[in-house]
Amino acid sequence: MGSVTATAAPSARPHVILLIRTFAAIVGSGFRRYSTYRQATVAGVATNTVFGILRCYVLLAVAGEAGTAAGYDRAQLVTFVWAGQGLLAVVLLWRWTELSDRIRTGEIVADLLRPVHPVTSYLAADLGRAGYAGLARMVPPLLVGPLLFEVHLPARWSTVAFFGCSVLLAVVVSFGCRYLVNATAYWLGDARGPLLLWTLCSAVLAGLAFPLRFLPEWLYVPLWLLTPFPSLLQAPLDVLVERDSPAIQAGLVGVQLCWAVLLLAGCRWVQRRAERRLVVHGG
């Protein structure tokens, strides 16, 4: 028994290393792919900056003379807005229809023939995209905001670590949601209807239009725990502005982690069912 165990471990190690290298290579290709869209990046930064200024004045007006709104002070509201404008491109709530387009045209068959699982491949490419967006689309708004408004800077070093983990998990949660919405094309043939519904729901329920804590507690707490939407933007932004204690910050990241695991498992389950459907239809 000892000899079997001794020989099994080394044989598994090269396979794991190969998987890691393949995943890293796809992440790198996703980064390089989106770094070629330089004009779109500049246009996106300009648009986010303009909307950031408008949203700041709206939320500052909500705070009014009291200087606070739903527990956020003026500086926290400003940071919430500008970080949200930068995160919007990193998390990428909308405009991702690559999977549904390939399903509709039949090109998805080529993805199924590759040695890497489609969920793993698309996730790696999306992480590369998010990495580029973090540098090119998130940093500029974070630099412009302090030039125009008073912002909140993290007072605890733990906030930086929590925020980094929260952003990464937000990207994974967003990918899982987008993949599932796109995968409806396996059954519907065209995913434009589900994509439109996803756009409407995510814009309101993710914390983009306004902080979800503006809502009554009996509404936003179930929304936070029972849906993945607050994990997309609201959670990382609340972590950054230090709206809560470190224990609650860790709890917010924990909720995101749960949703990330559930959604990735759901993606693989849906993909498996979809492949069976393709075989039944002669795909």
List, for residues 52-106, the tens digit of each pLDDT value: 999 999 999 988 877 888 889 999 999 999 999 999 999 998 889 999 999 988 8
List, for residues 150-206, the tens digit of each pLDDT value: 999 999 999 999 999 999 999 999 999 999 999 999 998 888 999 999 999 998 899
List, for residues 208-245, the tens digit of each pLDDT value: 888 999 999 899 899 999 999 999 999 999 999 999 99
Average pLDDT, stretch 9-28? Answer: 81
pLDDT exceeds 80 at position 45 = yes
What would the 3-class secondary structure string for the chain be? CHHHHHHHHHHHHHHHHHHHHHHHHHHHHHHHHHHCCHHHHHHHHHHHHHHHHHHHHHHHHHHHHHCEECCEEHHHHHHHHHHHHHHHHHHCCCCCCHHHHHHHHCCHHHHHCCCCCHHHHHHHHHHHHHHHHHHHHHHHHHHHHHHHCCCCCCCCHHHHHHHHHHHHHHHHHHHHHHHHHHHCHHHHCCCHHHHHHHHHHHHHHCCCCCCHHHCCHHHHHHHHHHCCHHHCCHHHHHHHCCCCCHHHHHHHHHHHHHHHHHHHHHHHHHHHHHHHHHHHCCC
Residue 5: which pLDDT band, with cuts at 50, 70 and 90?
very low
* Predicted pLDDT at 280: 43
* Predicted pLDDT at 10: 52
